[in-house]
Chain A
Amino acid sequence: MKRQFILVLFLFVSIFFCFMFQKNLIEKREIFLKENYAGYILPSKITGPASLEFSGIVADFLFLKITTFFGGEFNQNEPIDNKYAQFLYESMNILTDLDPWFWDAYLMADMILTWDFGKIDLANKLLLKAMAHRKEDFKVPYYIGFNYFYFLKDNLNGARYLMQAARLPKAPGYLSSLATRLSMYQNQYRPAIMFLNDIIKSTQNPELRKQFEIRLKTLMIMDRLEKKVHEFKKRFGTFPDRLSDLTDKGLVKLIPDDPYGGKFILLENKRVYTTSKMIYK
């Protein structure tokens, strides 16, 4: 009886220490993962053969790992370190070696590389790889066209890819005329709003959806303010010097807050922009 009691007591003491170790290790691991999480990813020359016939599920796992990492960075509402752009490109390149049809991977890389890092060349490189495998998918040339048009201000290539997208099966009817319309909207936020609306409609992940919605909201505010700036010009014959002129003249009640924590400003070329650059301040 006494022996059994000692044994049970010992068991409880062991469980207590086990819990303490676990707790301590969790804290240590959090620091460790924060410092080392995105350090490297094994090249596809190794991951490919090592995953045997399970390359699809390995690609899913890697994708989840990368999205968790970038999701964590976004949730901190701080600018993401630029060094992660190359990491994102390389890891997505490896991941799409394992599963070259994996559209979520291409799309996520495109969204972050363009909007958050401004690395349009890297994003387009991955999209061109997607185009080699998803030959019938209109979305791929559509996104390349958008990148050329919106980020690189290259109308010629933008229209070329959009036309290519329009010719593919299941492409929406409006695509063929979009190229022309986009040229009309040059230097406006309208194409980006259309583009983001399209992405939000087909995004299931709530975290990513939230990120896109915040970006869309910011762009819509800037688009509305820019329209008011042009209305100001029409009414008073001259552009306002600053955005507060719009409230002074009663065109808008108040300048909304930037969801990213910055401040909306009127640039010298009379375009509305934000000091946050759509990155959390």
Chain B
Amino acid sequence: MMTRKLFALTILTFKEGVRDRALFGIGLFSLLLMAGSIVVVSMFMRELHKVTVDINLSAITFAGLLLSFFVSINLMSKDIDRYTIYSVLSKPFSRSQYIWGKYLGIMLLIVTAMGILTFCSSLAIWFTKSQYSLYFQGFSWMEFYKAVYAELLMFFLLNALIVFFSTITTSSFITLLFSISTYIAGQTIEEVVLFLKTKHAAEIFMSEGINTIIGIVQYILPNLSVFDLKLQSAHAITISWDYLAAVTGYSIVYSIVLLIMASLIFNKRELR
């Protein structure tokens, strides 16, 4: 029964997302970028496979980010902004089910969009590969798909964050700000921590308090850079299955924590 309710909400959110016109703009932009990669690679010396993979993976990621920041946030806030949440919650759904259903619907949308884009980018790579086969000896389809999978895991987590933020804020703009800030911080926190461990950083005066705060923050913030395998994939460096299993676990557990917290907050939230 609960699964059926969740499924219904998931499909409803997915259909709502598909109707968003921004989706087509994002898709078109990414497809143009992928097609552009065929032309751009001819300007490089010999690592054409690296450039092709770089551009295609970046296009997929960029499209996923635009989808998350604009379509997902819109899907989350629309019900509250337009008061349609009352009609949804008047049905036999609990607030927790609403949160999980919304999240799963958004993820279905992202998985579908990424699936289509991955297929298109595979075509673009295949075409470039057939044109410059001599310069594609260092290319690996397997590593390419592993990088796409890791990006998808990042979107699992990022969208869980978006759902979480939309339950604690009252405006979609603030959700957007929080989400973008957390994304940037999540992508750079690893580098900041690594920098602080270098000799160079030891010369910079930094109070003990700031060091402690950074130490705590690195455990609270999601480390999104662990999902970035674009460089490894571009150079066909083998990514171990162990690593993929670890990032899968990380993404799922972190997302579940965020969604449980979002459910708890949303249960207590007063809707006006």
Contacts and interface: CB of A to CB of B under 8 A. Distances in A.
- Interaction A to B: yes
B191 A57 contact: no
B177 to A, nearest CB: 17
Contacts of B135: 204
Interface string B20-56: 0000000000000000000010111111101101110
Question: How extensive is the interface on chain B, given as a class?
Answer: 35 or more
Contact of B47 (A64, A67, A103): A103
A102 B46 CA distance: 10
Contact of A56 (B45, B234, B237): B234
A59 B44 CA distance: 12
A205 interface: yes
A59 B51 CA distance: 10
B44 A99 contact: no
A5 to B, nearest CB: 35
A108 B44 CA distance: 11
A104 B47 contact: yes
A189 B24 CA distance: 59
Most chain-A Cβ atoms within 10 A of its Cβ — which of B50, B192, B195?
B50
A215 to B, nearest CB: 15
A245 B187 CA distance: 69
B97 interface: no
Interface in B168-195: 184, 187-188, 191-192, 195
B9 interface: no
Given A56-B230, A57-B54, A60-B54, A203 B46 contact: yes
A208 B45 contact: yes
Interface in A100-138: 101-104, 107-108
A101 B235 contact: yes
Most chain-A Cβ atoms within 10 A of its Cβ — which of B40, B42, B45?
B45
A228 B228 CA distance: 59
B228 A104 contact: no
A49 B46 contact: no
B45 A101 contact: no
Interface in A74-88: none
Contact of B44 (A64, A101, A202): A64
A52 B132 CA distance: 30
A204 B228 contact: no
B224 interface: yes
Nearest to B195: A45
Interface in A54-69: 54-57, 59-60, 63-64, 67
B188 A52 contact: yes
B14 to A, nearest CB: 26
B140 interface: no
A204 B50 CA distance: 14
B118 interface: no
Interface residues of A, number: 26
B230 A53 contact: yes
Contacts of A203: 45-46
Interface string B178-216: 000000100110011001000000000000000000000
B225 interface: yes
A52 B158 CA distance: 15
Given A203-B45, A205-B43, A102 B132 contact: no
Contacts of B187: 49, 52-53
Interface in A16-65: 45, 48-49, 52-57, 59-60, 63-64
B229 to A, nearest CB: 10
B231 interface: yes
B231 A99 contact: yes
A25 to B, nearest CB: 24
A104 B132 CA distance: 16
Contacts of B51: 60
B58 interface: yes
B61 interface: yes
Contact of B50 (A49, A55, A102): A102
A108 B45 contact: yes
A56 B240 CA distance: 20
A204 B224 CA distance: 36
Nearest to B184: A52
Given A102-B50, A205-B45, 18 more contacts: A53-B228, A54-B230, A56-B53, A56-B234, A64-B40, A64-B44, A99-B234, A101-B234, A101-B237, A104-B44, A104-B47, A107-B45, A107-B46, A203-B46, A204-B44, A204-B46, A205-B42, A205-B46
Interface of A: 45, 48-49, 52-57, 59-60, 63-64, 67, 99, 101-104, 107-108, 202-205, 208
5 contacts: A56-B53, A67-B43, A108-B45, A204-B132, A205-B42
